[in-house]
Amino acid sequence: MKKNKFKQNTLPALAMAGPVSLWMILFVTLPMLYIIYISFMSRGIFGDVVYEFSLDSYKTLLDSTYFKVIVKSMKAAFITTLLCILIGYPFAYYIAKQPKEVASKLIMLVMIPFWTNSLMRLNSWLLLFQTSGPVNNFLQNAGFIDSPISFVYTDGLVMIGMITNMLPFAVLPMYSSIEKLSKSLLEASADLGASRSTTFFNITLPLTFPGIFSSIILVFIPSLGIYTVTDMLGGGKVLYIGNIIKNQFGAIRNWPLGAALSVLLIVITGLLIFIYTRFAKIEDMEVV
Amino acid sequence: MKKLISMLLALILITGLLTGCGGTNTGPVENGKAEPSTELNIYMWQQYISDDLIAKFEEENNAKVNLSYMSDNADAITKLTAGGGQEYDLIMTCDAYMESLIDGGYIEKINFENIPNASNINESYWTAKEYCVPYLMNYIYVVYNKDTCPIEINGYNDLIDPALKGQIATIDGARNLFPIALIALGYDPNSTNESEIAEAYEWLVKYNENVVAYGNAEQNLTNGTASVAFTYDGNASWAMSELGDKNNLVIADFESDPVQLGFDLYVVPKGAKHVDLAEKFLNYITDPQVMAANLVEYPYSCPNDAAVEAASDAYKNDPARDFDYKENVFFQKDVGEAITIYNDYYQKLKVGE
């Protein structure tokens, strides 16, 4: 009898969840444990990892240098998220209100940039805005400016790069949330004499909040760890925590410190997700 | 029963997957008449060797050359020291690391009897001669746009002139930047003295004010983003030829400050499996005609005198190599434990306290 039960319950579950679990254990859990492990090791003279227990890396994290970078990255990720939501929500709202076939085309427009390699997209920003680039040439020829403005390698351009990279992550969950909103609720609100803005703030916004929250998580977390955008558009002068981690594993070759920074990033991310699951019910977590 | 079999099969598949990554030894037989290798694995910089020449080598030796690329010198060192060296037969590194690589026993001695062409290489700067074959070399100097640069540059101290604010495109890396600061302050470019390094850091803070971007110096020079570049002569050469007739870039006329000269060289990692083919490759690439052809595509400075002799006129007359302080050079040396001091200050510099 017992055997039968195994066949009926365990085997299908194993067959379905097994491969994914194995994949996750091999390629997510184990590397993560390894990262945590080497964060407690020390750095050898050649930049190799010496397997001796040490808390040096975590002590270094308390150094004001790293604290500053973390604060700076959080700030940048926060601004990116805020702007993505502010730009993305009206856009998602607009798409959701369109007829189905128009909406799918508009969603496509959001997706198209994703088919282009992100390095290409970043490079094109550089080409557009460089000193002798089309934007500067246009402004000069039109007589708006006398000498070229240096757009490239500034915090501003990095921010533009971050927002364009992240916007689809913000739009899609909010779109699906707004789209699911039952029309009858809005009609009822209108029937009862509520103005459009009252309906929006009392019905639409609260009911689509889970979508907004998903967008916040989906934008904030990758923005916090991103390093390609800052590397390319910031000219190596704008550094976020992702760049520092990359440098520690690359040029500087202090793997334990890089690992400790990664652990810190994982902890911050974990905290955010914890707050999220507390705040919004887990079944609301919609990722399109 | 069927299920049991399928489960077993799945298990076998998974174990196969896990062990599949293990080493497959395709190397030559250890003793006796060895079969010549047919595969050569090289780890080096991207965009640094002519594809045509590689193809020709493959054809001549009936072999397959697998090129893998590094993004940083540190990658090669990690490969060599973290035990991944055996995957490759030749690894490119630079002169600064040779001492520690030899001390750590990470690389093999090279049998120069099989590389007669190595005699073409100028010996004056060839250090650790038994362990490496120099490939190309780089001067790291200052080049500027004579029309847009507001000052004349005659030494490193001119680079911290406030007039250059936001105008310098520079190469990156602690061990490239700190030496110029140390020289500007009158210290040894390979200093291990913490207070000197701290002073150099203060100097670099001022330098950083003038930097517009780290990396991509050649593009930033040609598109007008930067008016000054601290870069490799090979990159300056690229920028000058890109500008063509409109070239307004000049090499800074340094009066007394030495410039850094670095070598990119090939080493054979300990435990390399296709040493015979690696030696053939080294002999091939040191052949004057082969290297001269390579210089057409990659016009860097070259320590192979015979190849420079055989090179095209365009290469010989390259304005990027037309400067008169080629003898006044310094080399990056291993700074031992002090590297952590450099790294801490470098990180602080980049974060901007």
pLDDT, tens only, A169-205: 899 889 988 888 878 888 888 888 888 888 888 888 8
Domain presence at residue A161: yes
Interface test with A, best of B9, B17, B78 (most A CBs within 10 A): B78
Q: Which residues contact B236 (CB under 8 A, 6 or more apart)?
A: B141, B143, B218, B221, B229, B249, B251, B320
Give the mutation candidate from A151, A237, A239, A244 for the B interface (greatest B CB count, under 10 A). A237
Which chain A residues are Cβ-neighbours of B3 within 8 angstroms? 7, 11
B11 vs A72: which has the higher pLDDT: A72
CB contact under 8 A, A47 and B74: yes
Enumerate residues 6+ apart whose C-beta is below 8 A from B334: B96, B97, B99, B100
Provide the terminal-to-terminal Cα distance of chain A, rounded to the nearest Å. Answer: 42
Q: How far apart are CA B98 and CA A101, in angstroms?
A: 64
Pairwise CB contact (< 8 Å): B224 & A251: no
Q: What is the rounded CA–CA span in Å between residue B351 and residue A229?
A: 16
Distance between CA atoms of A252 and A243, rounded to whole angstroms?
A: 12
Report, as an integer, the average pLDDT of B325-347: 88
pLDDT at position B289, please?
94
Residues of chain B contacting A45 with CB distance shorter than 8 Å: 100, 336-337, 339
Query: Is residue A47 one of the residues assigned to a domain?
Result: no
The helix (run of H) or strand (run of E) holding residue B338 is none
**In a domain? residue A3:** no
Q: How far is B29 from chain A (nearest CA, A)?
A: 32
From the number of C-beta atoms within 10 Å of its C-beta (0-12, 13-18, 19+), residue A80 rates as: buried
Q: pLDDT tens digit string along B173-217?
A: 888 999 999 999 999 999 999 999 999 999 999 999 999 999 888
CATH classification of the domain holding A90: 1.10.3720.10
Residue B99: is its pLDDT beyond 90?
Answer: no
Q: What token pair was written down for A213?
A: 């929250």
From the CB of residue B246, how many other CB atoms can be counted at a distance below 10 Å? 9
Q: Are B278 and B115 in contact (CB under 8 A)?
A: no
B74 touches chain A (CB under 8 A): yes
H/E stretch holding A42 reads strand A42-43
DSSP letter assigned to residue B155: S
* A25 belongs to a structural domain: no
Is residue B33 very low, low, confident or very high in pLDDT (cuts 50, 70, 90)? low
Rounded Cα distance, A257 and B324, in Å:
44
| Helix intervals (H) in chain A | 2-5, 11-24, 30-39, 56-61, 64-97, 100-115, 118-129, 134-141, 155-180, 183-191, 196-199, 205-207, 209-225, 228-233, 241-249, 255-279
Q: Quick check: is A103 in a domain?
A: yes
Tell me the C-alpha distance between A248 and A238, whole Å: 16
Q: What is the pLDDT of residue B209?
A: 92
pLDDT, residue A281, reads: 59
Neighbours of A169 (CB within 10 A): 26
Domains of chain B: residue spans and CATH? 39-137+262-312 (3.40.190.10), 138-261+318-351 (3.40.190.10)
Q: Is residue A211 part of a domain?
A: yes
DSSP state letters, B275-306: HHHHHHHHHHHTSHHHHHHHHHHS--B-SBHH
Contact between residue A213 and residue A280 where contact means Cβ atoms under 8 Å apart: yes
Per the DSSP assignment, residues forming a β-bridge with B228 are: B144, B168
Q: How confident is the model at residue A5 (pLDDT cuts 50, 70, 90)?
A: low
B19 CB neighbour count, 10 Å cutoff: 8
* Total count of domains within chain A: 1
Whether the full predicted model's pTM is greater than 0.90, yes or no, is no
Write out the two tokens for B45.
């910089």
- The chain A residues in contact with chain B (CB within 8 A) are 7, 11, 22, 43, 45-49, 64-66, 68-69, 130-133, 148, 150, 152-153, 235-237, 239, 244, 247, 250-254
Q: Which of the four pLDDT bands, split at 50, 70 and 90, describes residue A121?
A: confident
B-chain CB neighbours of A247 within 8 Å are 347, 350
Cα–Cα distance for residue pair B299/B293, rounded to 1 Å = 10
* Beta carbons of B225 and A68 less than 8 Å apart: no
Which residues lie below 8 Å from residue A140, measured CB to CB, with a gap of 6+? A146, A147, A148
User: For residue B95, is pLDDT > 50?
Assistant: yes
How many H-runs (helices) and E-runs (strands) does chain B carry? 13, 10
Closest in A43, A47, A131 to B225, CB measured:
A131
CB contact under 8 A, B3 and A237: no
With beta carbons less than 8 A apart as the criterion, state whether B167 and B293 touch: no
A248 part of a folded domain:
yes
Q: Which residues does B292 contact at the CB level (< 8 Å), separation at least 6?
A: B307, B308, B310, B311, B312, B315
Mean predicted confidence (pLDDT) in A45-63:
82
ipTM above 0.90, yes or no: no
Separation of alpha carbons B98 and B77, rounded Å: 10
Q: Do A46 and B72 touch (CB under 8 A)?
A: no
Q: Domain span at residue A214?
A: 65-285
How far apart CA A22 and CA B55 sit, in angstroms, is 42
Please list the alpha-helical segments (H only) found in B158-244: 174-184, 194-210, 217-222, 233-243
pLDDT tens digits for range B227-267:
999 999 988 998 998 888 888 999 999 989 999 999 999 99
Task: Kindly report the average pLDDT of chain B as a whole number.
Answer: 86
Q: What are the residues whose beta carbons fall under 8 Å from the beta carbon of B277, sequence distance 6 or more?
A: B36, B37, B38, B39, B40, B61, B63, B89
- List the single residue in A133, A244, A253 with the smallest CB-CB distance to B74: A253
Establish if A123 belongs to a structural domain: yes
Q: How confident is the model at residue A280 (pLDDT cuts 50, 70, 90)?
A: low
Residue B23 has a pLDDT of: 39
Q: Which residue of A has its CA nearest to B343?
A: A252
Give, as one character, the DSSP assignment of residue B319. G
Q: Is the dihedral of CA B202, B203, B208, B209 positive or negative?
A: positive
Residue of B nearest to A132 (CA): B223
Residue B298 is encoded by which pair of tokens?
């990659």
Pairwise CB contact (< 8 Å): A251 & B166: no
Distance, in Å, from the CA atom of B78 to the CA atom of B66, rounded to the nearest integer, reads: 19
Q: Cα dihedral sign for B122, B126, B129, B134?
A: negative
Contact B81 A48 (CB under 8 A): yes
Structure tokens at B345: 């200050």
Å between A66 CA and nearest CA of chain B: 8
Which of B77, B212, B346 lies closest to A153 in CB terms?
A: B212
* Predicted confidence (pLDDT) at residue A244 exceeds the cutoff of 50: yes
How do strand B90-94 and strand B259-267 relate by DSSP bridges?
antiparallel
